[in-house]
Amino acid sequence: MTDEAIQKHLFSAEWYQNSKRICAYVSCASLREVVTSHILSDLLGKQRQYAVYVPRVEDMESQMRMLHITNMDDDLILNHMNILEPTPLDSSGNPRDEVMQANEPLDLLLLPGLAFDRKGGRLGRGGGYYDVFLQNYLLLAKDKGWKSPLLVALAYSPQIRDDPVPVDPTDVNIDALLSCNGILTFNSEAEEQISTT
């Protein structure tokens, strides 16, 4: 029921509907993440022209790429951690498009996490994959003069803490947090983007 409530909030949000280039994680039940299968199906099943990217772990040194997918059934395989991720090549045998080599900016990133605080702090699983990717992408966006994408984490209510989550100086804060209770924003840019769309 909680997953459905989160999805309902997301699907009805104009900032989601208006996003055309989106990165989203592929949820894993054993990690107790907010389920994204219906979200990915929504994005991939619409006739609108979405570009959907999902993560592929490249090594144990926190390297992760966001690769373009068009179909969940054919494009995803289980990795060594039992998490679905895209194959490096598409069904035609061509390398998949990746976010860091794209010619257009991302609009939205949907992020997982273990815990979140009410100031935008996000506690991951300790691998640093998302933080390294986000740092690199935000530098790329700045270099190209692109607007930064909206960073929205999906969370169950018990994951949201009043006290700060432990973060490192290299960790990237989220812009907003979506739970079954709706959305919390953590900066004026996110507030403006979410309230004006």
Encoded amino acid at 46, one letter: K
26 is in an annotated binding site: yes
122 is in an annotated binding site: yes
Checking phi first, is residue 71 left (phi over 0); if not, alpha (psi -120 to 50) or beta? Answer: beta
16 is in an annotated binding site: no
127 is in an annotated binding site: yes
Q: What are phi and psi of 77, to 5 degrees?
A: -135, 160
DSSP code of 55?
E
123 is in an annotated binding site: yes
DSSP 162-196: SSPPP--TTPPPPSEEEETTEEEE-SHHHHHHHHH
Please state, in angstroms and rounded to a whole number, the distance separating the CA atoms of residues 191 and 194.
Answer: 5
CB atoms inside a 10 Å sphere around CB 41: 11
76 is in an annotated binding site: no
130 is in an annotated binding site: yes
128 is in an annotated binding site: yes
Please state, in angstroms and rounded to a whole number, the distance separating the CA atoms of residues 83 and 147.
Answer: 31
Pinpoint the alpha helices (H) of 46-187.
72-75, 129-144
Please state, in angstroms and rounded to a whole number, the distance separating the CA atoms of residues 29 and 16.
Answer: 24
Which residue numbers belong to the known binding site for ATP? 122-130
Which residue numbers belong to the known binding site for substrate? 26, 33
Which residue numbers belong to the known binding site? 26, 33, 122-130
